[in-house]
Amino acid sequence: MHVRLFSFSSGVSLQVQPFEPDMHPDLGVTMLQLPVIAMRLLAVAIIAVASSGALAIPPGTDAEIRERISPFGQLRRPQVDEDNGAVAEAPVEREPRAAEAIYAQFCGTCHEIGVGGAPRMVAAEWDDRIAQGMDVLYASTINGLGAMPPGGTCFDCSEDELKKTVDWMVEAVQ
């Protein structure tokens, strides 16, 4: 019978093979001494790991340690870089797209033929929806509804562009 007392992470393990109840055949110690020896070996192993640096407390004062582990860089946007006198860059403005163009590129894919239950561009399919009020229609378009993903798949559309497109659709079906 092999009894594995413990093993080091290196894979070295101490195995005990009882032969006579009292005396260990290879180690020359009595069986009662083995647990004591095992505990001592374990203590030595723990001290070895601790002093190897793996568990050591890093040197330096708190401030020095904080300095050492501080983030590598900081993101500064030109607009907020006032101390350096940097010229604030105007955010890139894009001309808002026309509602009809947005409809043609994105919304029509589903709303022309009614993909996934999308109301087609006929009054009968819109009356009940329009009755909910424009704010509901805007919110459904911005957040998505049923099979319609948020923004009606126009992911870079602004909320204003989406609202104008809804306005355009509602006018077009009336």
Q: Which residue in 5, 31, 38, 140 binds ligand HEC (CB under 6 A)?
A: 140
Applying CB under 6 A, what is the total number of residues that bind ligand HEC?
28
How many residues are there in the chain?
174
98 binds ligand HEC (CB under 6 A): no
**27 versus 130: smaller Cβ distance to ligand HEC:** 130
Reduce the secondary structure of 36-88 to three states and give it as a string: HHHHHHHHHHHHHHHHCCCCCCCCCCHHHHHHHCCCCCCCCCHHHCCCCCCCC
21 binds ligand HEC (CB under 6 A): no
154 binds ligand HEC (CB under 6 A): yes
Binning the chain into helix, strand and coil, the percentages to the nearest 5 are 45, 5, 45
**30 versus 132: smaller Cβ distance to ligand HEC:** 132
Q: Which residue in 117, 127, 143, 159 binds ligand HEC (CB under 6 A)?
A: 117
